[in-house]
Chains A and B, each alone.
Chain A
């Protein structure tokens, strides 16, 4: 449960990703598999493996910071301010190594509270299955006449290029320079050549421009534009049926996408998610998996109600935009600000909970690293300093505008390839080191070429570990646990 998961599920639901239900199922199953992981193995990770785990943790935190920065932009702040605020909050959690009992509640509380406004939206708009059926039966996803994009105009994000499927009269709400790329076919036949013409206009407020199918429009950053009511939203699925069913994909693509996502999420979850307490926590045992699945379902519903109430969301590809757009469309205007405030607060609490869990795992990894360098008693200040350094590095990565889902899956995939897969081989320290080196190298190389590098790197790491000669693990305990040794376990207990 994290802001990244919420953001990606809502965004994919809005976009009508044909594999979306399988992605949601993968996320839910990976999280619950993480709960079932056995206790940490007593053998510490090799120093290089601990460094790889720290790099994975850094990427995961960077993804969360990108989402929080996008949230700030949706609230009218700058990306820089959002990123700095989120990084300061993360540093605060990293530097305050007490109150763990209360910090532990932050993620579940945030996940629950973010569902409360959704319940109000459901009560106001209708049950999800009715809304789904309504969206899926629309002949086209069009601008509503009451939309702010039609009435007052809104600013497109920087770098947006809109490609139109039908003639559309677009009006300038503020003075700006507009650029239209026209593609005119010359000749006949399927492979007809295209003549590309680029035109620029300086438009004043109220001036309009009619674009044709295939034209591509871009405007200055922060310039507001108004669209025509009843026309298709550029970039949105062509129709409700197209949104609901998606396009046909090749079997190989489906297998690679689902397999890659499952290996990445389950493997990374085993490395990064703390196992559930097995004794004396009956309520937690019953509620934790249910809360995870409710969160995944809730994130999906935010996207569903987003496409139902605001099809023009494809114009604002910011993380968490569906959540904030939906609460702005509730029937009672006086509730909108309160709901937006509630959602924002819940997201911040959820972020703090994620950072707390991250801090525990990063602290355990640092403690294991200290043991590997024969310094078993790592001070609290040193642990806080180490985690703070990783937070700063994550903020620097987040500043480079990466895709949060890619950063998130890279982090999980690296942990799966460099840490979990070599341990699965159960072939001893030497083999684990070889597997880690192969897994990390293969992951770095594959990340340049394919969208799911862990699908290649994790099996290679396991194979390298299994085939390496050396002293094998004698323990019958499953050795793929994420722990970094007794020092790490002591750190987590503390």
Chain B
């Protein structure tokens, strides 16, 4: 996730500053897209862990 943000920051032609619906692409990525993916993955992992049967230590 962070690597995607870094890539947007360092790519040529300042792609991260391109405006989408008036807002910079890097802002969309860092504040909407990446956190949304993080929430989805985390919730899925936690739900998977909650459903998994107990394993012996």
Evaluate contact between A25 and B5: CB separation under 8 angstroms.
yes
Evaluate contact between A244 and B24: CB separation under 8 angstroms.
yes
Stretch binding the partner chain, chosen from A152-160, A227-235, A278-286, A432-440 = A278-286
Evaluate contact between A254 and B34: CB separation under 8 angstroms.
no
User: Shortest distance in angstroms between B42's beta carbon and chain A's nearest beta carbon?
Assistant: 4
Of residues 102 through 152 on chain A, the ones whose CB sits less than 8 Å from some CB of chain B are 129-130, 132-133, 136
In this complex, how many residues of chain B approach chain A with their Cβ under 8 Å: the count is 33
Evaluate contact between A22 and B31: CB separation under 8 angstroms.
no
Asked if A400 is at the interface (CB within 8 A of a chain B CB), the reply is no
Evaluate contact between B26 and A32: CB separation under 8 angstroms.
no
- Which residues of A sit under 8 angstroms from B43, Cβ to Cβ? 285-286, 289-290
Evaluate contact between A290 and B39: CB separation under 8 angstroms.
yes
Evaluate contact between A28 and B2: CB separation under 8 angstroms.
no
User: Shortest distance in angstroms between A28's beta carbon and chain B's nearest beta carbon?
Assistant: 4
Evaluate contact between A32 and B42: CB separation under 8 angstroms.
yes
CA–CA, A319 and B50, complex, Å: 39
Asked if A208 is at the interface (CB within 8 A of a chain B CB), the reply is no
CA–CA, A258 and B8, complex, Å: 13
Evaluate contact between A254 and B50: CB separation under 8 angstroms.
no
Asked if A372 is at the interface (CB within 8 A of a chain B CB), the reply is no
A285-B47 in contact given A19-B9, A25-B31, A293-B38 (Cβ < 8 Å) = yes
User: Shortest distance in angstroms between A244's beta carbon and chain B's nearest beta carbon?
Assistant: 6
User: Shortest distance in angstroms between B12's beta carbon and chain A's nearest beta carbon?
Assistant: 11
User: Shortest distance in angstroms between A267's beta carbon and chain B's nearest beta carbon?
Assistant: 14
Evaluate contact between B30 and A21: CB separation under 8 angstroms.
yes
Evaluate contact between B2 and A26: CB separation under 8 angstroms.
yes
Evaluate contact between A22 and B46: CB separation under 8 angstroms.
no
Asked if A180 is at the interface (CB within 8 A of a chain B CB), the reply is no
Choose among B31, B38, B45 the residue that contacts A21 (Cβ–Cβ < 8 A): B31
Per-position binary interface string of chain B over residues 9-44, scored 1 when its CB falls under 8 Å from any chain A CB and 0 otherwise: 110001001010111101101111011101101110
Evaluate contact between B50 and A279: CB separation under 8 angstroms.
yes
- Which residues of A sit under 8 angstroms from B41, Cβ to Cβ? 32
- Which residues of B sit under 8 angstroms from A62, Cβ to Cβ? none
Choose among B14, B17, B23, B35 the residue that contacts A25 (Cβ–Cβ < 8 A): B35
A254-B17 in contact given A25-B2, A36-B45 (Cβ < 8 Å) = no
Evaluate contact between A129 and B22: CB separation under 8 angstroms.
yes
- Which residues of A sit under 8 angstroms from B23, Cβ to Cβ? 129, 132-133, 136
Evaluate contact between B39 and A293: CB separation under 8 angstroms.
yes
A255-B6 in contact given A22-B30, A289-B39 (Cβ < 8 Å) = yes
Evaluate contact between B26 and A293: CB separation under 8 angstroms.
no
Per-position binary interface string of chain A over residues 8-28, scored 1 when its CB falls under 8 Å from any chain B CB and 0 otherwise: 000000000011111111101
Evaluate contact between B46 and A29: CB separation under 8 angstroms.
no
User: Shortest distance in angstroms between B47's beta carbon and chain A's nearest beta carbon?
Assistant: 6
Choose among B27, B36, B46 the residue that contacts A276 (Cβ–Cβ < 8 A): B46
- Which residues of B sit under 8 angstroms from A254, Cβ to Cβ? 6, 9-10
Asked if A197 is at the interface (CB within 8 A of a chain B CB), the reply is no
Evaluate contact between B24 and A22: CB separation under 8 angstroms.
no
CA–CA, A22 and B27, complex, Å: 8
A22-B2 in contact given A282-B50, A290-B43 (Cβ < 8 Å) = yes
Evaluate contact between B31 and A278: CB separation under 8 angstroms.
no
- Which residues of A sit under 8 angstroms from B34, Cβ to Cβ? 25, 28-29
CA–CA, A289 and B46, complex, Å: 10
| Interface pairs (11), CB distance under 8 Å | A19-B9, A21-B5, A21-B30, A24-B30, A25-B29, A36-B42, A129-B22, A258-B6, A281-B50, A293-B35, A293-B36
The 6 closest A-B pairs by CB, nearest first: A21-B30, A133-B22, A289-B42, A293-B35, A32-B42, A285-B46
Residue positions of A touching B, CB distance < 8 A: 18-26, 28-29, 32, 35-36, 129-130, 132-133, 136, 244-245, 248-249, 251, 254-255, 258, 262, 276, 278-282, 285-286, 288-290, 292-293, 296-297, 300, 477
